[in-house]
Amino acid sequence: MESTRRTVGELVRERWGDHRPGLWFEGGVVSHHQVAAGAAARAALLAETLPSGAEPHVGVLLDNTPEYPLWLGAAALAGAAVAGINPTRRGPELARDILHTECRVLVTERTHLPLLDGLELPGVRVLVTDTAAYADLLKTYEGARPDAGGAGPDSRFLLLFTSGSTGAPKAAICTQGRIAAAGHSLVGHFGVRADDTHYICMPMFHGNAVIADWAPALAAGAGIALRRRFSASGFLPDVRACGATYFTYVGRAVQYLLATPARPDDRDNPLRLGFGTEAGAVDAAAFEKRFGARLVEGYGSSEGGAAVQRVPGTPAGAIGRAAPSDDLAVIDPETRRECPPAVFAGDGRLLNGADAIGELVNRGTSLFEGYWRNPEAEEARRRGASPRPGEGGAGEEGGAGTGKGWYWTGDLFYRDAEGFLYFAGRSDDRLRVDSENLAAAMIENILARYEDAAAVAVYAVPDPVAGDQVMATLALKEGTRFAPSPFARFLLVQPDLGTKMAPRFLRIVERMPVTATNKIHRVALRREGFRCADPVWWRPPGEPSYRRLTAADTDELVARYRAHGREELLTR
C-alpha cells in the first residue's frame, strides 16, 4: 500500500497553499498553509541551531499550544526527531529525559521554565516560545519553503517516553513511515474527511494525541483544535466553537466529563466519534447517551509492537480482535503458554481471572522499532518465546534463546472463546494512572527516603473505573509508628515525585512479606490490595491528607468496582 511508505514530511508539504482553516487555538484560527509555513521556518531554524554532528533531536516541553504541532512539522521537514518531554517529571529525572535522548535543542515556554531551575543541561540550547527574542529569531527564517530535507520513511520522527519494569522511562523510536501509515490507517478506519476537525485535548507528549489524533488529521487534510490542558468544563464549549467532530481520550478524562453537571443541550454538539482507551463499557454507554457521540476503544502500544482493532460484533467491554498483521496471544509469563479463555457469569463478570488473565504477546512480526540507546529494554521486549503446544522444544526457530522472540507488551489482557480481547491492566512493575505510565521502582526509590521506612513496595491496584491507582506497603523501623501528616509533608517536598506518583493507598506492616528467595512478595500484596488484615491509610480523591480506610470505605469502593464491571480485577 503506497501510504505505508510515505513520510510525515510529505504530508506537511501537501498543506502548502491550502488556505482552509487548519488550526484553532484559544479563539484564533490559522490556515493549513500558515501551519506549513510555520513548520518550514522552524525547520530552517533547527537546521542552523543544531551543532554539527549532533543527533537531530529536539526536546519539546510545551503544553498543547500551536508551537507543538509546528515543531512536529518542523522535525518532519528537517529529518529530525521530537522527544516529547513530560512536564509532570521533576528534578534529576526531568534532566535525565532530556539528556538521554541527546536533545541539543529544547523548546519550552515561560510557564515551564521553573522546572528547569537548577538542572544541569550541558550543551542544550533552550528556546522559549512566548518571548520577543524567539519571535525575532523566527523572523529570520520567514519565507522558508517546506522542501525535502532528505528524510525518508525510515527516518526517526518521534522519541516517545514509555515507562516499564526497568525503572527509568524508555524512549520508543517511531519513524516517519510508521506515523504516516498510522495516520492513513485511522483515516480509513474512521472515515476521516478533509472537512473534519480533530480536537486535541490530551497532552501531545503522549502517543495518544500525536499518533491517534494529529496524524490522521494531517493525513486527511483535516483541521486540528488545541486545548492547552484538558478541561472537563471547557470541553463542550471548545467542541462547539471549533466544530470538532473527533477527539481522543483516556478513561479518566471520560470520567471527568461525565462528572460535570448535565445540561439539556449536551447533545447539541458536532462530535461524531471519540477514540481512546480504558473508558469502560459503562462510561462509554453513558457518554454516548449524554453527548450523542460514540466512543471507540482501541489498543496499540506506543512502540508499535501490537494492535487490537474494534470490529463489528465486538462485545461490550472488549477492545476488539488482533490486527490482521499481528498474531496476538494471552500468555502466562511463568509457563509461557496460552491462558485459557475467559469464563463469564450471566451478568458479564469474569469468573476465572486468576487463570485467564495474562500478558498480551505478539508472536508474529511486529512494528517495534526499538528504544533509543537501550538495548537491554529492547531485549526484554523481544525476549525469547516458548513453542506453542504441539510444536518443537526451546531453541528451535522462534523458540527461547534464538533472539527472535515474541514481542511482550507488558499489558494484561484476557480473551473470550470467540477471540475478542479485554484489557485488564499493567504487568507487575507497571502502573497506568490517569493515562500516565509509571514505574514502581522509581516511586519506591523516592518513598525509601522516608526516615521511618525500613522497606517499601509499590504496586498497582486497579482503579474503580479505568487504569490503576498507586498502592504502597511500608514496613516501619522498629520503635516507630505511622503518622499521616508527617508522611504527607514528606511527599510534598520530594522534588522528583511526579504529580501522579503519590500513593492512593498505604498499607503499614511490621515486616515485609517475602518469597522463598527473599524477594518482596509483590504478587501477594497486589492480590490482597487494600482488603487486607493490616491497617491501610488512604487519600480519597480531592482530599489533601491520609486517613484510615474503614470497613464502610471498603464496601463503598468495592461497590464502585462492581458497578463498572471491575471487581474481578481486585484479585488479579
CA-closest candidate to residue 246, choices 285, 277, 214, 279: 214
> 413 and 461 share a domain?
no
Nearby residues of 479 by Cβ (< 8 Å), 6 or more positions away:
none
Domain stops at, among 166, 194, 229: 229
Domain membership flag for residue 163: yes
Does the residue 20 lie in any domain? yes
53 and 105 fall within a common domain:
yes
Same domain, 422 and 456: no
Does 56 share its domain with 103? yes
Residue 420's pLDDT is what?
A: 95
Note whether 277 and 253 are within 8 A (CB).
no
The verdict on 411 and 440 lying in the same domain is no
Give the domain-ending residue among 427, 455, 485.
427
Question: Do 423 and 453 belong to one domain?
Answer: no
The cell 483516556 sits on which residue? Answer: 250
- For residue 471, the domain's CATH number is 3.30.300.30
Q: What is the pLDDT of residue 253?
A: 86
Asked whether residue 283 is domain-assigned, the answer is no
384 with 501, same domain: the answer is no
On whether residue 545 sits in a domain, the answer given is yes
User: Looking up cell 474527511, which residue turns up?
Assistant: 193
Residue 285 falls within a domain, yes or no?
no
β-sheet bridge partners, residue 263: none
Q: What is the structure's pLDDT at 431? A: 79
The enclosing H or E element of 559 equals helix 551-563
pLDDT for position 390: 41
Same domain, 385 and 516: no
280 located within any domain: no
d(CA 120, CA 296): 43
Joined grid coordinates for residue 88: 509532570
pLDDT-flagged residues of the chain (< 50): 1-4, 164-166, 386-403, 517
Select from 427, 443, 476 the last residue of a domain: 427
Examine the domain organization and report whether 75 and 183 are in the same domain.
Answer: yes
What total number of domains does the chain contain?
Answer: 3
Same domain assignment for residues 441 and 559: yes
Expressed as residue numbers, the domain containing 180 is 2-229
pLDDT at residue 166, rounded to an integer: 43
On whether both 443 and 412 belong to a single domain, the answer is no
Would 463 be classed as within a structural domain? yes
Query: Of 141, 146, 183, whose CA–CA distance to 13 is shortest?
Result: 146
**Residue 100 belongs to domain with CATH number:** 3.40.50.12780
8-state DSSP, 260: S
Nearest-Å Rg of the Cα atoms of the chain is 24
CATH number at residue 386: 2.30.38.10
Give the per-residue pLDDT at 403.
Answer: 31
Question: Starting at the edge strand that comes first in sequence, how are the strands of the sheet with 246-250 ordered?
Answer: 28-31, 21-25, 223-226, 197-200, 246-250, 273-277, 294-297
Q: Which pTM does this prediction carry?
A: 0.79
pLDDT tens-digit readout, 441-475: 778 878 989 999 988 999 999 999 888 999 999 99
Amino acid letter, residue 236: L
* One domain, residues 449 and 414: no
Q: Are 83 and 49 in contact, with CB atoms under 8 Å apart?
A: no
Give the pLDDT of residue 400.
36
310 vs 500: CA distance, rounded Å: 30
Q: Is residue 184 part of a domain?
A: yes
Q: How far apart are CA 382 and CA 361, in angstroms?
A: 10
Do residues 284 and 295 lie in contact, with contact meaning Cβ atoms separated by under 8 Å? yes
Short-list 328, 346, 347, 325, CA closest to 338: 328
Of 552, 471, 527, nearest to 504 (Cα)? Answer: 471
